[in-house]
Amino acid sequence: MSEHALPAADAAVLQQMPGCEMIDLILPDLNGLLRGKRVTRDALGKIYESGVCLPMSLIATDITGNTVEETGLGYAIGDEDRICRPVPGSLRPVPWQKKPMAQLLLSMEDAAGGVFAANPREVLKGVLDRYTALGLTPVVAVELEFYLLDAELTVDGRPQTSINPATRIRNRTTQVYYMEDLNDYQAFTDHLADICRAQAIPADTAVAEYAPGQFEINLKHRADALQACDDAIYLKRAIKAVAGQHHMLASFMAKPFVNQAGSGMHIHVSLLDREGRNVFAGTPQAPSPLMLNAIGGLQATARDCMLILAPHANSYRRFVLNAFVPLNDCWGFNNRTVAMRIPHSDAANARIEHRIAGADANPYLVTAAVLAGMLHGLQTRADPGPPIVGNAYEQIEPRTLYWRDTVADFIASDFILDTFGAQFRHIYGQQKLKELRSFYTEVTTLEYEWYLRQV
């Protein structure tokens, strides 16, 4: 198979890169980390024809890169390879490399050549198929918050806020939506904008967020949720690469600093019917009944899906008072203190902004959880109750979340079983249970400070 037989979109990208000799084959795992291999351009035709083999265990490696034997994907099956095939239309240049390179998304199959239920992209595709059967199309946009940090950690391995490129002073103050911060970091944002254009990443706006060196990049909405999440995966890789070239560290950690804001992943969703009309269209005075049902479904399934929305130990440090992070499942119009916000818009463009997930989560799985919760609400005609007006923190009972509880909830969840299947629930649940147990084997600095001499 020659390069001329590649899918048209991918062949066109390659034709514009005459000097490209290497391609990164990337497979997002359950944590959203990019696994894979680098191949020569000569191998690309064969990969499109026959796929490429990668260990099945890669999908469920833990955050440290180790195989989680409890998933059954490691020694139990001889650490078998599985065929991974290119996602058509996903070939993109990698502009930050010194020599012309490209990257290509992969999707892993099961042993029979069918859908592998633990492949994050396939998890989302399964939910989308249910929408298609109902004649509905989700329109999705992803917003990502992140920190630009000093590339040099402290002597004890802790992060430091970045040195302002313009003032050469370390960032210590918070100026939310401050234009001077965007000016000061313009070399970074301009470079990133160039990368996004080259990779066809539909980045829309950049804002300075609620902490020193924290920013948010918004992606334009797509009527293809898979591509919207592909965009998020590409964008995260680009942000990290560009930050490194500007001598900074980009982190999507949910809560890198105790006394500063955490970083979230906000998912915006509306639904189109067969005629392309937004079924969520409405106003605060006359909201769409279907939108209310969808919100009710998100409320009803939030506990089951919390491990997807907050997958790591650090994720739970983000849920604190007065930090624009939802502490309950409430909803409201044009209100950033709630979990499900209906942003200000004209009636035709009404949408739900889901604000619970952290930036450390997997975009495919978060979007799958959000869409599955909405679908549950549509099918059960769930009632979300009245909207919150004003400060939600003063009107609700705050929900205290613990990682161990959400792992247990996920593993026992009938909703997860019925929606995503037994294989996904087992593999993802065991991956997170292994990470939880490994995390609690460590003796922390705080334990030495509290107990070494005192007890």
Q: How many whole angstroms separate alpha carbon 72 and alpha carbon 237?
A: 29
State residue 1's pLDDT score: 43
> Same structural domain for residues 165 and 239?
yes
Structural domains of the chain, count: 2
Q: Residue 84's domain spans which residues?
A: 3-116
> Same structural domain for residues 133 and 227?
yes
Task: Please list the ranges in the chain whose pLDDT falls under 50.
Answer: 1
pTM value is: 0.95
Single residue among 55, 83, 116 that ends a domain in this structure: 116
Q: How many whole angstroms separate alpha carbon 253 and alpha carbon 311?
A: 11
Q: How many whole angstroms separate alpha carbon 91 and alpha carbon 89?
A: 6
> Same structural domain for residues 315 and 210?
yes
> Same structural domain for residues 59 and 204?
no
Q: How many CB atoms lie within 10 A of CB 39?
A: 16
Question: What CATH number does the domain containing 305 carry?
Answer: 3.30.590.10
Contact criterion met (CB below 8 Å) for 298 and 380: no
Contact criterion met (CB below 8 Å) for 318 and 264: yes
Q: How many whole angstroms separate alpha carbon 225 and alpha carbon 428?
A: 21
Q: What would the two tokens of residue 262 be?
A: 């955490």
Which residues is 104 bridged to in the sheet?
25
Q: How many whole angstroms separate alpha carbon 43 and alpha carbon 45?
A: 6
Q: Is position 377 within any domain?
A: yes
> Same structural domain for residues 77 and 162?
no
> Same structural domain for residues 110 and 134?
no
